[in-house]
Chain A
Amino acid sequence: NAGVTQTPKFQVLKTGQSMTLQCAQDMNHEYMSWYRQDPGMGLRLIHYSVGAGITDQGEVPNGYNVSRSTTEDFPLRLLSAAPSQTSVYFCASSYKVGIPTGELFFGEGSRLTVL
């Protein structure tokens, strides 16, 4: 049972480069989301999706794009990386949208450094 899988675990980029952080879940979860965590801070919601073809913005969406073409995958794209995007990124999923007791399952994180 893989759960939520994030790749890569570590990445170093130069300013202006683009890249995609991958997130896949094998639990048939409707809801998927991306968070970033900066040193000494809690997690902040970037984007989320309530099903295939449906995405929406969270607290800090600027500089990031997402799409949800399948239930399983929710990639996060950085089109032109900036040093301010240096962070640890977490993908999370939940079984059903709108159930207030839904448990979020998190991946192990992807550590991104932008030089």
Chain B
Amino acid sequence: DAKTTQPNSMESNEEEPVHLPCNHSTISGTDYIHWYRQLPSQGPEYVIHGLTSNVNNRMASLAIAEDRKSSTLILHRATLRDAAVYYCILSDTGNQFYFGTGTSLTVIP
């Protein structure tokens, strides 16, 4: 599976939007882009996924670049409960996920 590159950490003020970037320049045509997050002392949880088009769900939005070499997870209004490590993962099978170190998001009250 292709690798992804994310910033180690980011900060955001509470109730402001957060844009978490992910670079995946070696993405293949069959790779889906998945985002998971891991709250402290918990297992990862699914956030969102997409292939080519931008995606929205109740948790977040996923903006995918036209060339698919990068994507951005958007949290529209950060809350303290959104403080977590966010992982950007590529997979063409939906099963074997290879996690990097992710982006640790700090939300400032």
Give the number of residue pairs across the A-B interface with Cβ within 8 Å: 69
Inter-chain contact A100/B91, CB cutoff 8 Å: yes
CA distance A113 to B99 in the complex (A): 22
A102 contact set on B, CB distance < 8 A: 94-95
Interface secondary structure of A, over-half rule: loop
Q: Assess whether A2 is interfacial by the CB under 8 Å rule.
A: no
Inter-chain contact B94/A43, CB cutoff 8 Å: no
Task: Choose among A4, A31, A99, A104 the residue with the greatest number of B CB atoms under 10 Å from its CB.
Answer: A104
CA distance A77 to B35 in the complex (A): 29
Binds B, one of A44-52, A67-75, A78-86: A44-52
Report if A98-B95 is in contact (Cβ < 8 Å); known contacts: A41-B101, A42-B100: yes
B99 contact set on A, CB distance < 8 A: 35, 42-44
A-B contact list, 26 entries, CB within 8 Å: A31-B95, A33-B96, A35-B99, A40-B101, A41-B101, A42-B100, A42-B102, A45-B96, A48-B96, A50-B95, A90-B43, A90-B44, A97-B95, A98-B95, A99-B94, A100-B30, A100-B31, A100-B32, A100-B94, A101-B94, A102-B95, A103-B46, A105-B46, A107-B43, A108-B42, A109-B41
Residues of B within 8 A of A (CB): 30-32, 36, 41-46, 49, 51, 87, 91-102
Residues of A within 8 A of B (CB): 4, 31, 33, 35, 40-45, 48, 50, 58-59, 90, 92, 94, 96-109
